[in-house]
Amino acid sequence: MTHYKELGLVNSRELFKKAMAGGYAIPAFNFNNLEQLQAIISACVETKSPVILQVSKGARKYANQTLLQYLAKGAVEYAKELGYAIPIVLHLDHGDSFELCKSCIETGFSSVMIDGSHLPYEENVKLTRQVVDFAHQYDVTVEGELGVLAGIEDEVSSEHTHYTRPEEVEDFVSRTGVDSLAISIGTSHGAYKFKLKPGETVPPLRFDILEEVEKRLPGFPIVLHGASSVPQEIVDEINRYGGKLENTAGVPEEQLRRAASSAVCKINIDSDGRLAVTAAIRKVFYEKPSEFDPRNYLGPAREKLKELYKHKIINVLGSAGKA
Ligand code: G3H
Ligand code: 13P
Ligand code: ZN
Protein backbone atom coordinates (compact mmCIF):
# COMPACT_ATOMS: atom_id res chain seq x y z
CA MET A 1 0.00 0.00 0.00
CA THR A 2 1.27 3.45 -0.93
CA HIS A 3 -0.78 6.11 0.80
CA TYR A 4 -1.30 9.34 -1.13
CA LYS A 5 0.17 11.41 1.71
CA GLU A 6 3.51 9.67 1.11
CA LEU A 7 3.41 11.15 -2.41
CA GLY A 8 2.68 14.66 -1.14
CA LEU A 9 -0.90 14.65 -2.49
CA VAL A 10 -4.09 15.90 -0.80
CA ASN A 11 -7.70 14.73 -0.97
CA SER A 12 -10.41 17.05 -2.29
CA ARG A 13 -12.24 17.86 0.98
CA GLU A 14 -10.56 21.15 1.94
CA LEU A 15 -10.30 22.28 -1.68
CA PHE A 16 -14.05 21.88 -2.16
CA LYS A 17 -14.82 23.67 1.10
CA LYS A 18 -12.81 26.69 -0.03
CA ALA A 19 -14.19 26.55 -3.58
CA MET A 20 -17.75 26.52 -2.23
CA ALA A 21 -17.11 29.51 0.01
CA GLY A 22 -15.20 31.39 -2.69
CA GLY A 23 -17.59 30.80 -5.61
CA TYR A 24 -15.11 29.11 -7.93
CA ALA A 25 -14.43 25.55 -9.17
CA ILE A 26 -11.32 23.38 -8.99
CA PRO A 27 -10.05 22.30 -12.42
CA ALA A 28 -10.10 18.55 -13.03
CA PHE A 29 -7.88 17.96 -16.04
CA ASN A 30 -7.41 14.45 -17.48
CA PHE A 31 -3.93 13.22 -18.29
CA ASN A 32 -2.19 10.09 -19.49
CA ASN A 33 1.28 11.25 -20.54
CA LEU A 34 4.24 13.38 -19.53
CA GLU A 35 3.56 16.41 -21.73
CA GLN A 36 -0.03 16.73 -20.48
CA LEU A 37 1.18 16.53 -16.90
CA GLN A 38 3.87 19.15 -17.48
CA ALA A 39 1.31 21.45 -19.10
CA ILE A 40 -1.19 21.04 -16.25
CA ILE A 41 1.34 21.60 -13.47
CA SER A 42 3.06 24.56 -15.08
CA ALA A 43 -0.30 26.22 -15.90
CA CYS A 44 -1.49 25.73 -12.32
CA VAL A 45 1.75 26.95 -10.76
CA GLU A 46 1.81 30.06 -12.96
CA THR A 47 -1.77 30.88 -12.01
CA LYS A 48 -1.44 29.62 -8.41
CA SER A 49 -4.41 27.28 -8.82
CA PRO A 50 -5.12 24.04 -6.94
CA VAL A 51 -5.64 21.11 -9.30
CA ILE A 52 -7.22 17.70 -9.63
CA LEU A 53 -5.15 15.40 -11.83
CA GLN A 54 -7.68 13.05 -13.29
CA VAL A 55 -6.98 9.55 -14.64
CA SER A 56 -9.58 7.32 -16.29
CA LYS A 57 -9.44 3.52 -16.23
CA GLY A 58 -8.20 3.57 -19.83
CA ALA A 59 -5.61 6.24 -19.05
CA ARG A 60 -4.29 4.22 -16.11
CA LYS A 61 -3.87 1.22 -18.35
CA TYR A 62 -2.20 3.36 -21.02
CA ALA A 63 0.24 5.10 -18.70
CA ASN A 64 0.92 2.14 -16.36
CA GLN A 65 -0.07 2.26 -12.69
CA THR A 66 3.51 2.19 -11.37
CA LEU A 67 4.66 5.01 -13.60
CA LEU A 68 1.55 7.01 -12.65
CA GLN A 69 2.46 6.85 -8.99
CA TYR A 70 5.90 8.27 -9.67
CA LEU A 71 4.48 10.83 -12.09
CA ALA A 72 2.11 12.09 -9.38
CA LYS A 73 4.95 12.27 -6.86
CA GLY A 74 7.05 13.98 -9.49
CA ALA A 75 4.26 16.48 -10.14
CA VAL A 76 4.34 17.56 -6.49
CA GLU A 77 8.12 18.09 -6.65
CA TYR A 78 7.93 19.72 -10.11
CA ALA A 79 5.50 22.35 -8.79
CA LYS A 80 7.93 23.18 -5.97
CA GLU A 81 10.78 23.37 -8.44
CA LEU A 82 8.73 25.81 -10.54
CA GLY A 83 8.41 27.96 -7.44
CA TYR A 84 5.00 27.31 -5.86
CA ALA A 85 3.70 24.23 -4.03
CA ILE A 86 0.09 23.97 -5.23
CA PRO A 87 -2.30 21.40 -3.66
CA ILE A 88 -2.55 18.39 -5.99
CA VAL A 89 -5.25 15.69 -5.94
CA LEU A 90 -4.82 12.42 -7.86
CA HIS A 91 -8.33 11.31 -8.82
CA LEU A 92 -9.77 8.23 -10.53
CA ASP A 93 -12.23 9.39 -13.20
CA HIS A 94 -15.29 7.16 -13.82
CA GLY A 95 -14.25 4.19 -11.69
CA ASP A 96 -16.54 1.33 -12.68
CA SER A 97 -15.93 -1.24 -9.94
CA PHE A 98 -15.04 -1.58 -6.27
CA GLU A 99 -11.87 -3.47 -7.23
CA LEU A 100 -10.60 -0.66 -9.48
CA CYS A 101 -11.27 1.98 -6.81
CA LYS A 102 -9.54 -0.16 -4.17
CA SER A 103 -6.53 -0.71 -6.40
CA CYS A 104 -6.22 3.03 -7.10
CA ILE A 105 -6.47 3.84 -3.39
CA GLU A 106 -3.74 1.27 -2.68
CA THR A 107 -1.46 2.80 -5.29
CA GLY A 108 -1.60 6.42 -4.19
CA PHE A 109 -4.85 8.00 -5.44
CA SER A 110 -6.25 10.57 -3.00
CA SER A 111 -9.74 10.65 -4.51
CA VAL A 112 -11.88 8.27 -6.56
CA MET A 113 -15.07 8.45 -8.52
CA ILE A 114 -17.34 5.44 -8.43
CA ASP A 115 -19.69 5.84 -11.34
CA GLY A 116 -22.75 3.72 -10.74
CA SER A 117 -24.94 6.11 -12.69
CA HIS A 118 -25.80 3.49 -15.31
CA LEU A 119 -27.02 1.05 -12.66
CA PRO A 120 -30.50 0.82 -11.16
CA TYR A 121 -30.72 3.28 -8.21
CA GLU A 122 -30.43 0.75 -5.37
CA GLU A 123 -27.41 -0.91 -7.00
CA ASN A 124 -25.75 2.49 -7.44
CA VAL A 125 -26.31 3.19 -3.71
CA LYS A 126 -24.90 -0.20 -2.70
CA LEU A 127 -21.77 0.00 -4.86
CA THR A 128 -21.06 3.61 -3.92
CA ARG A 129 -21.47 2.84 -0.20
CA GLN A 130 -19.01 -0.06 -0.52
CA VAL A 131 -16.38 2.23 -2.10
CA VAL A 132 -16.96 4.99 0.48
CA ASP A 133 -16.55 2.55 3.37
CA PHE A 134 -13.19 1.41 2.02
CA ALA A 135 -11.95 4.85 0.89
CA HIS A 136 -12.76 6.67 4.11
CA GLN A 137 -10.56 4.30 6.10
CA TYR A 138 -7.67 5.95 4.27
CA ASP A 139 -9.10 9.49 4.19
CA VAL A 140 -9.61 9.20 0.43
CA THR A 141 -12.55 11.28 -0.87
CA VAL A 142 -15.25 9.77 -3.09
CA GLU A 143 -17.33 11.23 -5.91
CA GLY A 144 -20.60 9.52 -6.86
CA GLU A 145 -22.93 10.19 -9.78
CA LEU A 146 -26.69 10.44 -10.27
CA GLY A 147 -28.12 10.91 -13.74
CA VAL A 148 -26.49 9.89 -17.01
CA LEU A 149 -24.65 12.14 -19.45
CA ALA A 150 -25.00 11.47 -23.15
CA GLY A 151 -21.74 10.50 -24.87
CA ILE A 152 -18.91 8.08 -24.21
CA GLU A 153 -17.03 7.61 -20.95
CA ASP A 154 -14.48 4.79 -21.11
CA GLU A 155 -16.43 1.78 -22.40
CA VAL A 156 -19.87 2.97 -21.32
CA SER A 157 -21.89 5.11 -23.67
CA SER A 158 -25.37 6.59 -23.61
CA GLU A 159 -27.16 8.06 -26.57
CA HIS A 160 -29.46 10.23 -24.47
CA THR A 161 -29.15 12.42 -21.42
CA HIS A 162 -30.94 11.25 -18.29
CA TYR A 163 -31.10 14.35 -16.15
CA THR A 164 -30.43 14.00 -12.44
CA ARG A 165 -33.66 13.70 -10.47
CA PRO A 166 -33.33 16.22 -7.62
CA GLU A 167 -35.75 14.20 -5.48
CA GLU A 168 -33.11 11.43 -5.24
CA VAL A 169 -30.06 13.43 -4.17
CA GLU A 170 -30.61 13.70 -0.40
CA ASP A 171 -31.31 10.00 -0.06
CA PHE A 172 -28.28 9.12 -2.23
CA VAL A 173 -25.84 11.35 -0.38
CA SER A 174 -26.99 10.36 3.09
CA ARG A 175 -27.07 6.62 2.37
CA THR A 176 -23.75 6.47 0.51
CA GLY A 177 -21.68 8.99 2.48
CA VAL A 178 -20.10 10.40 -0.71
CA ASP A 179 -18.02 13.59 -0.47
CA SER A 180 -19.22 15.07 -3.78
CA LEU A 181 -21.86 14.35 -6.38
CA ALA A 182 -21.67 14.52 -10.18
CA ILE A 183 -24.97 15.52 -11.74
CA SER A 184 -26.39 15.54 -15.25
CA ILE A 185 -27.77 18.93 -16.34
CA GLY A 186 -27.21 18.79 -20.10
CA THR A 187 -23.45 18.49 -20.55
CA SER A 188 -22.06 15.43 -22.32
CA HIS A 189 -18.70 13.80 -22.92
CA GLY A 190 -16.55 14.22 -26.02
CA ALA A 191 -16.11 16.82 -28.76
CA TYR A 192 -19.58 16.40 -30.28
CA LYS A 193 -21.87 17.61 -27.55
CA PHE A 194 -24.40 19.50 -29.62
CA LYS A 195 -25.17 19.06 -33.30
CA LEU A 196 -26.45 22.43 -34.43
CA LYS A 197 -28.37 23.21 -37.59
CA PRO A 198 -27.52 26.53 -39.28
CA GLY A 199 -28.72 29.45 -37.15
CA GLU A 200 -29.20 27.31 -34.03
CA THR A 201 -27.36 28.02 -30.76
CA VAL A 202 -26.36 25.68 -27.95
CA PRO A 203 -29.28 25.04 -25.57
CA PRO A 204 -28.70 26.34 -22.02
CA LEU A 205 -27.73 23.91 -19.28
CA ARG A 206 -30.54 22.95 -16.89
CA PHE A 207 -29.68 25.42 -14.14
CA ASP A 208 -33.14 24.80 -12.70
CA ILE A 209 -32.05 21.24 -11.82
CA LEU A 210 -28.76 22.50 -10.33
CA GLU A 211 -30.66 25.03 -8.19
CA GLU A 212 -33.07 22.37 -6.97
CA VAL A 213 -30.12 20.12 -6.05
CA GLU A 214 -28.44 23.01 -4.21
CA LYS A 215 -31.64 23.64 -2.25
CA ARG A 216 -31.81 20.02 -1.18
CA LEU A 217 -28.08 19.69 -0.42
CA PRO A 218 -27.01 23.08 0.95
CA GLY A 219 -23.22 23.53 0.92
CA PHE A 220 -22.59 20.14 -0.70
CA PRO A 221 -19.95 19.98 -3.50
CA ILE A 222 -21.37 19.30 -6.95
CA VAL A 223 -19.30 18.09 -9.93
CA LEU A 224 -19.80 18.88 -13.59
CA HIS A 225 -18.56 16.35 -16.15
CA GLY A 226 -18.47 16.87 -19.90
CA ALA A 227 -17.49 20.52 -19.52
CA SER A 228 -15.33 21.07 -22.59
CA SER A 229 -16.28 24.06 -24.70
CA VAL A 230 -14.87 22.76 -28.00
CA PRO A 231 -13.39 26.15 -28.98
CA GLN A 232 -14.26 26.94 -32.59
CA GLU A 233 -10.83 28.45 -33.29
CA ILE A 234 -9.12 25.20 -32.31
CA VAL A 235 -11.55 23.14 -34.39
CA ASP A 236 -10.87 25.49 -37.34
CA GLU A 237 -7.12 25.10 -36.85
CA ILE A 238 -7.40 21.31 -36.87
CA ASN A 239 -9.42 21.45 -40.08
CA ARG A 240 -7.06 24.01 -41.67
CA TYR A 241 -4.14 21.63 -41.19
CA GLY A 242 -5.77 18.56 -42.67
CA GLY A 243 -8.16 17.41 -39.95
CA LYS A 244 -11.84 16.66 -40.34
CA LEU A 245 -14.03 17.67 -37.43
CA GLU A 246 -17.45 18.72 -38.58
CA ASN A 247 -20.37 20.35 -36.84
CA THR A 248 -18.97 20.26 -33.32
CA ALA A 249 -20.08 22.40 -30.39
CA GLY A 250 -19.42 22.36 -26.66
CA VAL A 251 -20.64 24.05 -23.50
CA PRO A 252 -20.32 27.86 -23.76
CA GLU A 253 -17.80 29.23 -21.28
CA GLU A 254 -20.28 31.77 -19.81
CA GLN A 255 -22.46 28.88 -18.70
CA LEU A 256 -19.50 27.18 -17.04
CA ARG A 257 -18.60 30.43 -15.26
CA ARG A 258 -22.13 30.60 -13.92
CA ALA A 259 -21.91 26.98 -12.74
CA ALA A 260 -18.51 27.60 -11.11
CA SER A 261 -19.92 30.41 -9.00
CA SER A 262 -22.60 28.07 -7.60
CA ALA A 263 -22.25 24.77 -5.71
CA VAL A 264 -20.27 23.30 -8.61
CA CYS A 265 -16.81 22.84 -7.06
CA LYS A 266 -15.16 20.60 -9.68
CA ILE A 267 -15.30 20.98 -13.46
CA ASN A 268 -13.99 18.18 -15.69
CA ILE A 269 -12.19 19.07 -18.90
CA ASP A 270 -10.58 16.50 -21.18
CA SER A 271 -11.72 16.93 -24.79
CA ASP A 272 -10.58 20.57 -25.13
CA GLY A 273 -7.06 19.45 -24.20
CA ARG A 274 -7.18 16.67 -26.79
CA LEU A 275 -8.24 19.19 -29.42
CA ALA A 276 -5.45 21.64 -28.49
CA VAL A 277 -2.80 18.91 -28.73
CA THR A 278 -4.17 17.72 -32.07
CA ALA A 279 -4.21 21.24 -33.53
CA ALA A 280 -0.61 21.95 -32.51
CA ILE A 281 0.74 18.64 -33.82
CA ARG A 282 -1.16 18.93 -37.09
CA LYS A 283 0.23 22.43 -37.63
CA VAL A 284 3.84 21.23 -37.24
CA PHE A 285 3.34 18.30 -39.60
CA TYR A 286 1.53 20.46 -42.15
CA GLU A 287 4.18 23.17 -42.16
CA LYS A 288 7.21 20.89 -41.75
CA PRO A 289 6.46 17.52 -43.33
CA SER A 290 10.06 16.42 -42.77
CA GLU A 291 9.87 16.87 -38.97
CA PHE A 292 10.42 13.65 -37.04
CA ASP A 293 11.80 14.60 -33.63
CA PRO A 294 8.85 14.13 -31.20
CA ARG A 295 10.11 17.00 -29.04
CA ASN A 296 9.50 19.34 -31.95
CA TYR A 297 5.81 18.50 -32.18
CA LEU A 298 5.03 17.43 -28.62
CA GLY A 299 6.76 20.59 -27.35
CA PRO A 300 4.39 22.98 -29.21
CA ALA A 301 1.46 20.76 -28.20
CA ARG A 302 2.51 21.07 -24.55
CA GLU A 303 2.74 24.85 -24.89
CA LYS A 304 -0.72 25.15 -26.49
CA LEU A 305 -2.18 22.92 -23.80
CA LYS A 306 -0.65 25.06 -21.06
CA GLU A 307 -2.16 28.21 -22.56
CA LEU A 308 -5.56 26.52 -22.81
CA TYR A 309 -5.43 25.46 -19.14
CA LYS A 310 -4.38 28.93 -18.00
CA HIS A 311 -7.30 30.41 -19.89
CA LYS A 312 -9.73 27.95 -18.25
CA ILE A 313 -8.34 28.63 -14.77
CA ILE A 314 -8.35 32.42 -15.09
CA ASN A 315 -11.42 33.09 -17.23
CA VAL A 316 -13.74 30.13 -16.68
CA LEU A 317 -13.21 28.35 -13.35
CA GLY A 318 -11.99 31.28 -11.30
CA SER A 319 -9.43 29.20 -9.38
CA ALA A 320 -6.41 31.44 -10.11
CA GLY A 321 -4.74 32.67 -6.95
CA LYS A 322 -6.64 30.17 -4.77
CA ALA A 323 -3.73 27.76 -4.12
O1 G3H B 1 -15.07 11.06 -19.30
C2 G3H B 1 -14.15 10.50 -19.86
C3 G3H B 1 -12.81 11.13 -19.97
O4 G3H B 1 -12.78 12.08 -21.00
C5 G3H B 1 -11.76 10.07 -20.10
O6 G3H B 1 -11.78 9.49 -21.36
O7 G3H B 1 -11.83 7.03 -20.94
O8 G3H B 1 -11.04 7.95 -23.13
O9 G3H B 1 -9.64 8.20 -21.07
P10 G3H B 1 -11.03 8.07 -21.64
P1 13P C 1 -15.19 16.48 -21.82
O2 13P C 1 -15.24 15.36 -22.80
O3 13P C 1 -16.27 17.48 -22.05
O4 13P C 1 -13.85 17.12 -21.76
O5 13P C 1 -15.49 15.87 -20.36
C6 13P C 1 -14.48 15.25 -19.61
C7 13P C 1 -14.99 14.51 -18.44
O8 13P C 1 -16.11 14.66 -18.00
C9 13P C 1 -14.07 13.59 -17.79
O10 13P C 1 -14.68 12.86 -16.78
ZN1 ZN D 1 -16.73 12.45 -17.10
Q: What CATH number is attached to the domain comprising 86?
A: 3.20.20.70
Which residue's CA is the nearest one to ligand 2's atom 9?
A: 268
Which residues pair with residue 152 across a beta bridge?
A: 157
What pLDDT was estimated at residue 152? 59
Residue 322 falls inside a structural domain: no
The strand pairing partners of 169, in sequence order, are none
Residue 263 belongs to domain spanning:
22-317
DSSP letter assigned to residue 150 = B
In-domain check, residue 276: yes
What pLDDT is stored for residue 154 in this prediction?
A: 54
Largest Cα separation within the chain, whole Å, is 60
Q: Whose CA is nearest to atom 3 of ligand 2?
A: 226
* Position 7 in a domain: no
Query: Is the residue at 2 inside a domain?
Result: no
Q: Is residue 16 part of a domain?
A: no
Q: Is residue 11 part of a domain?
A: no
SS3 label, residue 241: coil
Reported as type and span, the H/E element at residue 134 is helix 121-136
Position 197 scores a pLDDT of 87
State the Cα–Cα distance between residues 56 and 54, nearest whole angstrom: 7
Whether 228 lines ligand 2, by a CB cut-off of 6 Å, is: yes
- Judged by its nearest atom, the ligand closest to the C-alpha of residue 31 is 1
Question: What is the number of structural domains in the chain?
Answer: 1
Q: Which of 30, 157, 223, 224 most suits a substitution to test ligand 1, by most atoms within 8 Å of the C-beta?
A: 30
Query: Is 153 touching ligand 1 by the criterion CB < 6 Å?
Result: yes
The DSSP code sequence of 39-86 is HHHHHHHHHT--EEEEEEHHHHHHH-HHHHHHHHHHHHHHHHHHT---
Phi, then psi, of 264 in degrees rounded to 5: -75, 115
Q: Which residues are catalytic?
A: 93
Q: Is the CB of 115 under 6 A from ligand 2?
A: no
Where the chain has pLDDT below 50, the residues are none
Ligand 2 in reach of 225 Cβ (< 6 A): yes
Query: Residue 122 has what DSSP assignment?
Result: H
* Nearest in space to 170 (alpha carbons), one of 127, 214, 119, 225: 214
Q: Specify the pLDDT at position 161.
A: 83
Asked whether residue 3 is domain-assigned, the answer is no
Ligand 2 centroid to 297 CA: how many Å? 24
Can you tell me the distance from the alpha carbon of 148 to that of 97, in angstroms, rounded to the nearest whole number? 17
Q: Is 227 in the pocket of ligand 2 (CB under 6 A)?
A: yes
Our mutation pick for probing the ligand 2 site, out of 40, 96, 189, 194, counting the most ligand atoms within 8 A of Cβ, is: 189
Contact 232, 201 (CB under 8 A): no
Angle between helices 34-47 and 271-287 (to 10 degrees): 110
Specify whether the CB–CB gap between 300 and 293 falls below 8 A.
no
pTM of the model as a whole: 0.97
Could you tell me which residues come within 8 angstroms of residue 185 by beta carbon, excluding any fewer than 6 positions away? 147, 163, 164, 205, 206, 207, 209, 210, 224
Note the pLDDT of residue 157.
Answer: 63
The pLDDT tens digits of the residues spanning 69-119 come to 999 999 999 999 999 999 999 999 999 999 999 999 999 999 999 999 999
Q: Residue 297 falls within a domain, yes or no?
A: yes
